[in-house]
Amino acid sequence: MTGGARVPDSFADVVGRPVPDRDRPAGTDSGGDGAITVSCISSIEELQDLRGSWDALLRQSSANHLFLSHDWVCTWWKHFGGNRRLFTLVFRRDDRILGIAPMLLERRRRRGIPVRQIGLLLNGCAQQSGLIFPAQRRDVFRAFVRHLQDCAHQWDLVDFNGIPELSGDLPELEAATEGSTITAVRRWQFETLSLEYRGRPEVFMKSRTAHFRKRLKAAEKHLHELGAVVRRRYDSPEELQSGFSRLLDVERRSWKLEGGTAILNQPGWLEFYRDVIGIFGRSAGCQIRVIEIDGSPVASILVIVYDGVVYALRIFIDQSLARASLGNLMMHFLMTDAWTPEIRAIDFDRRTPFISRWSNRSDVYHGVFLFHDGFYPRFLRRLQSLSSAARALWRPGGRDGDTEAEVAD
């Protein structure tokens, strides 16, 4: 079935003092003979030059996922870098790259308070992120913390959101901060859901309740009563732009256009996803699926296939057909049509009651703040502590029912 952002000249006013020397020794620890040097990548051209080393390192990492891939990060920065400054750190020992920390530096406001913040490359297009530290991890994390100490005059807060628990990065980061001037404070944790294939798609369906399978069969019957049903998959570079137009056609009739997060109502998202489709489409990694009734698209989903995992990025349903269970029918279409022996799972990058029906695995991600011992960061940390205490009194739990850790001062 087929059918770089340039850093503004005025940014020095944002970050204060100049960046320290680009390549500098960060000390020597166990696990190697030479000092680890840290380079700060601040231009899209330098970022693009890392392609081969980046992807090879990511494949060795336990945080290997689409949203840390070189193509995704470069495309994200091209569209959303804006007035932010690229602050990606590369860790080397004896000319061998040991780790990469894809980060940015920006001035923003948190509860109305100006903050110079280091963060990961996230803006709602995905929830997952992380650090690429697969080798000599203890040494690299120590070098990372030392570098943050050395450039502490440039930042007030490091906000890491989306660190995968399975990577083991958070305990390593916390251990590296011990005895330093940097303090790590866990903020919250959240879960994302996935469908892990444990055999052919029929195996997953048999794991669902009889009631679930019965309702799905009834929804399929009702769908065909509405008109002539066609399911299409667009996966070639020539077809994908047409498929993207049909996906957006469904989005315009989806509740997400006015009441949620849609491609068409978020600044920069349209061109970002258009580029993502073009880049991943060239390597046969992009797919768009559409369900049509009488030639009109009524449900659509955009996915990227990366390293044996299908990442479901955007799904839209015609809200005028809300009673037709189009969401379940599209998920069944995706689950059965995407499977091959090489595909291990479908990653939904979020947790909702609807998605939980189609998942058999959850993964935990953490958010963490890093503060240094300057006056202003200590002030921010006190505010965060008071805010967390007040939130605990009024509403137990964190983001969308996820848990937020109590901040001790």
Rounded Cα–Cα distance for residues 82 and 6 (Å):
8
Confidence of residue 14 (pLDDT cuts 50, 70, 90): very low
DSSP H/E element including 305: strand 296-306
pLDDT at position 409, please?
22
Task: Please report, for residues 295, 347, 369, the alpha-carbon distance to residue 356 in angstroms, rounded to integers and kept in the order given.
Answer: 30, 12, 29
CATH numeric code, 11-192+364-404: 3.40.630.30
- Say if CB 157 and CB 323 are below 8 A apart: no
What are the backbone angles phi and psi of residue 352, rounded to the nearest 5°? Answer: -140, 160
**pLDDT tens-digit series, residues 115-142:** 999 999 999 898 899 999 998 999 999 9
Rounded Cα–Cα distance for residues 258 and 254 (Å):
8
**Share in percent of the chain as helix, strand, coil (round to 5):** 40, 25, 30
Query: Is 322 a residue whose pLDDT tops 90?
Result: no
Domain with CATH 3.40.630.30 in the chain: 11-192+364-404, 198-343
Rounded Cα–Cα distance for residues 116 and 377 (Å):
10
The chain-wide mean pLDDT, for the chain, equals: 87
Which is it for the CA torsion 234, 235, 236, 238, positive or negative?
Answer: positive
Return the CA Rg of the chain: 23
Residue holding tokens 């490359």? Answer: 121
**pLDDT tens-digit series, residues 242-289:** 999 999 999 999 998 887 789 999 999 999 999 999 999 999 899 999
Which class is domain 198-343?
Answer: alpha beta
Query: Is 26 a residue whose pLDDT tops 50?
Result: no
The percent of residues in the chain predicted with pLDDT above 90, rounded, is: 74
